[in-house]
Structures are given as C-alpha cells and as structure tokens.
Amino acid sequence: MTEPLHVPVMLQRCLDLLAPALAEPGAIVVDTTLGLGGHSEALLSTFPAARLIALDRDPAALRLAGERLAPFGERATLVHAVYDELPDVLDRLGVPRVQGVLFDLGVSSMQLDQADRGFAYAQDAPLDMRMDQNTGISAAEVLNTYPPGELVRVLRAYGEEKFARKIVEAIVREREKEPFTNSARLVELIRDALPQAAKRTGGNPAKRTFQALRIEVNGELAVLERAIPAAVSALAVGGRIAVLSYHSLEDRLVKQVLTAGAGHTAPPGLPIVPERYQPRLKLLTRGAELPTEEEIAANRRAAPARLRGAERVREDVADDGGRR
C-alpha cells in the first residue's frame, strides 16, 4: 500500500496527555476517530503494554488503517461504529473501563483528499459528504429537499454563516431549475450570493456552508453531545481523555462537559461538600491548547485545532451510597 501523506494533529501533546494512564500493562486506550490510523499507530508504538480499541464509521478508513496497524496484531481491535456507540462497543467486547480515550473530531484527511467524497470545496465532486456512504442522506439531498427555513437554520447553527438567508434564497432559486449534484455549482452560487466585502476575508467563502452541510449530514454535534459524556463514564479512575476539535461549536460542547465534570455538584450553602458531589474530573489543559506555529507550518490542517484534556479522579457515587 502506498501510504497517503498523513500527519496526525498535535500528536506529541496528545501522547503526553494520555501517557500517565497508559504505562501499566493491560491498559486499554480507545481511539474513537481512527481515520488513517496515525494517532492509533503512535499510541501502540509509544505504549507497548497497552491495547487499542479503535472506532470509525467509514469502512474505507477501517480498511486502510487496518493495513497500517496489522503489525500490532491482536493489540489492535478495529470496530465499525460511530463514536457515540462507545458504550455498546465496550459492552460487546467485555471491557468495563478504559484507561484512555482520544477524539480527533471533524473530517479526516482521507475524506478531504478523496475528491469523490464531496467534502472539499476546492475541487468539483458529487455532493455526498457522508462519512459512512452506506447510510444516511447526502449533502445533495439536504440541499434539494430541505425547506428554506430549515436550510437557513443549518447554515446559521452549524456554519455560523451570517449570510445564510441570502445563500439559501439563491439555492432555492437554482434547485427549482435543476437539482444540485456537484460541489462546483454550489461554490459558484455562494460566491455570487455574498457581498463583495464578505468575499475579501476569511478564506474560501464556501467554507462555512460546506462545514454546516457536513455536520448536518453526519449528525456530528448530536453524536458528540452523547459521545463525550459516554467516554468520561467509560474511564477508570486515573484514566484520561484528550479531545481535538476544529471549530467553535465542537470545542464549546467539549468544554461544557469537561468543565461540568471538574466542578462539584453540591447544592449551594453546604459547609462541607459530601463525596457524592465532589468533582469526578480534573482538567489537564488550561482552556484549549493550540498547535504551535511550527506544527501549523508543517501541517496546515492543524491550524484550527483546539485540544482539551481531563483525568477521571473519582467514581460516580449513586444517591443510595453505592458506586457506579
């Protein structure tokens, strides 16, 4: 296999964050977003006593990463699943708790680089954008069938697009003439719909619309909202989680879950906070850590990355005094 050029984002920092939890023999680390397997390969190489469970919803990614990780034999278990299915995956594998979890969110390098997947606005391709092409609706179906108000909501909520209404008006006019099938026509429409001033800053004017469509097609934020709490619950005490996100919507969700876990949940006014209200997480990063200038120079896809980490410091204590 010719290895595609793939540079895992903030790799060394992710390894450093997870390291204290993965040194012991039998430690299990989950890579919830396998992609081309760059992070997974580094985890297996760096922590020779650890086992890996890796998830991806994209069958093509699982096949390519499987070839890459084959030398590690039974230490690597690859599973076709979306990352909010983590509890079911661990249950099926008979794994009650894990020592590390890594999320590298967003679209993978492989998906961006394969033109026929339709993720990249820089090259013409079918408007698909499904991470698993065997299920769900494509970006073209979203564009051609969603009511105008729903399209405006998607572009505003998931793309933070200020000109959502203008773009959607143009989309609705155009789709009545001919349904959308390819990305180049959509990119051209967006360029024509935006005011001149808006096209002079912020990179490709289609970027926000493509992000919004991708998130809608793959249900990314809804999945993430379920996945981060599930991953925290799967951590053993002393286990660690590291999350790489690539836009403010993802980072905000991650921040909310980790920050909430690091605060106590006691009612106000208690002189002493009982154990069941104590924080179950300790934050390992001050805010979100950013890639270095050197890393961005070497890997432009690292530029928007934001990394957060936390350690599980306490089991959940049920109201009846039992642990879970």
> Is 102's pLDDT higher than 60?
yes
Residue 264 has a pLDDT of 83
Averaged confidence pLDDT in the chain:
88
> Is 39's pLDDT higher than 60?
yes
> Is 45's pLDDT higher than 70?
yes
pLDDT in tens, 123-156: 778 898 888 877 889 999 999 999 999 999 999 9
- Domains, the chain, in order of start with CATH, read 11-104+220-312 (3.40.50.150), 115-218 (1.10.150.170)
pLDDT in tens, 171-212: 999 999 999 999 999 999 999 998 876 666 667 888 899 999
> Is 290's pLDDT higher than 70?
yes
The mean-pLDDT minimum among 25-34, 232-241, 267-276 falls in 267-276
251 carries a ligand binding annotation: no
Residue 111 has a pLDDT of 46
104 carries a ligand binding annotation: yes
Record the tokens describing residue 141, joined without a space: 């179906």
Instruction: State the average pLDDT over residues 45-68.
Output: 94
Say how far apart CA 90 and CA 97 lie, in whole Å. Answer: 8
116 carries a ligand binding annotation: no
80 carries a ligand binding annotation: no
133 carries a ligand binding annotation: no
Residue 107 has a pLDDT of 62
Instruction: State the average pLDDT over residues 53-69.
Output: 93
Instruction: State the average pLDDT over residues 298-314.
Output: 93
In terms of pLDDT, which residue wins out, 125 or 312? 312
146 carries a ligand binding annotation: no
Residue 18 has a pLDDT of 98
123 carries a ligand binding annotation: no
Say how far apart CA 157 and CA 203 lie, in whole Å. Answer: 20
Number of neighbouring beta carbons within 10 Å of residue 99 = 26
> Is 106's pLDDT higher than 90?
no
Helix (H) or strand (E) holding 251: helix 248-261
Task: Count Cβ atoms within 10 A of the Cβ of residue 70 and give its class: 0-12 exposed, 13-18 middle, 19 or more buried.
Answer: exposed
> Is 323's pLDDT higher than 60?
no
Record the tokens describing residue 103, joined without a space: 């999320």
